[in-house]
Amino acid sequence: MKNILVVGAGAAGMMAALTAAKAGAKVTLIEKNEKPGKKIYITGKGRCNVTNDCDADVFFNNIVSNPKFMYSAFYGFDNVNLMELIKDNGCALKTERGGRVFPVSDHSSDIIRCFEKMLKSAGVDIRYNVKAEKLLIRDNSCYGISVSKGKDHEDLKADAVILATGGLSYPSTGSTGDGHRMAKSCGHKVTDLKPALVPFNTKEEWVKELQGLSLKNVSLEMTCGKKIIYEGFGEMMFTHFGVTGPLILSASSYYSAFGSKKKDISEPIKLNLDLKNALSEEQLDKRIIRDFEKYNNKQFRNSLSDLLPSSMIPVIIKLSGIDPEKQVNLVSREERQRIVSLLKKLELTVTGTRDFNEAIITQGGVSTKDINPSTMESRIINNLYFCGEMIDVDALTGGFNLQIAWSTGHLAGEEAAVRDI
């Protein structure tokens, strides 16, 4: 019977431990926290967006970094397999808008409990409050790991080690880069680690006046000079520092990826918001004319209430340069065109992202070139496997990142258990 050590009891680690145990291995799962799934607990705003009920092509289209690396892992254990596993073990699921899958209870704790029950049933030995310190390596093979618990230190021997320690996002959950440090120490390349699925800081002061304003059905184009980095559609919100919301979080992953490829960005990165996506410029102009006719005897500042949220009106007036006291019937065609242009292309200048404390995931990680995609085993050190967020693979919101963790964890656990020593 093979003896396997799994480091990290998040989504990938629990799946790796469970799969290896089911394949007949003796499995020890070590976790530096006092309980499993700390990051799972806060995903999906505490509801746990466990996966996405989509076709394979949609899944791969939502992976931002290194989608081809995921072929073997996903086709070996996909979203359908995951949902069946969870439902068969007593946790009912539901699918919401955009294919997002949640537990029926809307409690992420039910997903964690489901996996705890499966791990116990499979005979996995889980040890909490145990921190992995360094890999034990001899003759280019990993034969265990040095751990600490309080002041006590111990070398745990194993036939294979699976690292599933996560990235750097939400460090309060224990994601503090331990696995990346250990991977580097034995020769693996770790690509630049950046916050992803994270709000933007923006240059413009007027965003503070819109703090808390949420907008639906907004089109966004993110550009650097003439290059379009990202185009999307959805919901967003203004904050005291910039912008956030699902649309913005998706854009941030492409922003981080673009920054990794282009070390020297000479031109500012702009967010161009189309606040009236359903209308062409000509249609919007006609709409404004109708509103002006309706409020014919009013001042300009009192003519936009049918068109815009109340908190946005003073900002748009200020940006338009039109005298707010001006009678509507005196607003010129040129001035009206300025309003149309603002609403169809409200421009924000990105100064950066928020930090890892506010990032849903980490972009970057152990280079996919150093990992065999068919097994998740290191190409540098034998009997060492990687899975989950610590690998340089990331995706957009909607359950795709958790599916990456489940799929890579399953493949790592399976291969570590069945591979000849």
231-246 confidence digits (pLDDT tens)? 999 999 999 999 999 9
The more confident residue out of 350 and 264 is 350
pLDDT above 60: residue 263? no
Residue ranges covered by each domain of the chain = 3-194+363-418, 199-354
What band does 170 get if pLDDT is binned at 50, 70 and 90?
confident
Average pLDDT of span 143-155: 95
Query: What pLDDT, in 10s, does the model give residues 288-305?
Result: 999 999 998 899 999 999
Question: Confidence band (pLDDT; 50, 70, 90) for 261?
Answer: low
Assign 421 a pLDDT band (cuts: 50, 70, 90). Answer: low
Assigned architecture for domain 199-354: Orthogonal Bundle (1.10)
With a cut of 90, say whether residue 177 has pLDDT above it.
no
Tell me the pLDDT of the chain averaged across its residues.
94
pLDDT, average across residues 339-362: 95
pLDDT exceeds cutoff 90 at 262: no
Confidence of residue 265 (pLDDT cuts 50, 70, 90): low
Q: Give long-range contacts, CB 8 A cutoff, 24+ apart: 259-262.
A: 259/194, 260/191, 260/192, 260/194, 260/363, 260/364, 262/224
Please report the pLDDT score of residue 259 as a whole number.
77
Average pLDDT estimate for 128-154: 96
- CATH 3.90.1150.10 for the 3-194+363-418 domain, yes or no: no
- Answer whether residue 407 shows pLDDT above 60: yes
Tokens at residue 374, please? 């068919």
pLDDT of residue 185 exceeding 90, the answer is yes
Reported pTM: 0.91
Q: How far is Cα 187 from Cα 152, in angstroms, rounded to an integer?
A: 28
Q: Per-residue pLDDT averaged across 384-413, rounded?
A: 97
Cross-sheet strand order for the sheet of 100-103: 51-52, 100-103, 93-95
Least confident of 68-72, 105-109, 261-265: 261-265
* pLDDT of 260 higher than 70: no
pLDDT for 292: 93
Provide mean pLDDT across the span 255-283.
86
Q: Looking at 106-115, 120-129, 220-229, 250-259, which range is the least confident one?
A: 250-259
Q: What is the pLDDT of residues 10-57, one digit of tens each?
A: 999 999 999 999 999 999 999 999 999 988 988 888 899 999 999 999
Summarised one tens digit per residue, pLDDT across range 76-111 is: 999 999 999 999 999 999 999 999 999 999 999 999
Rounded mean pLDDT of 246-270? 84
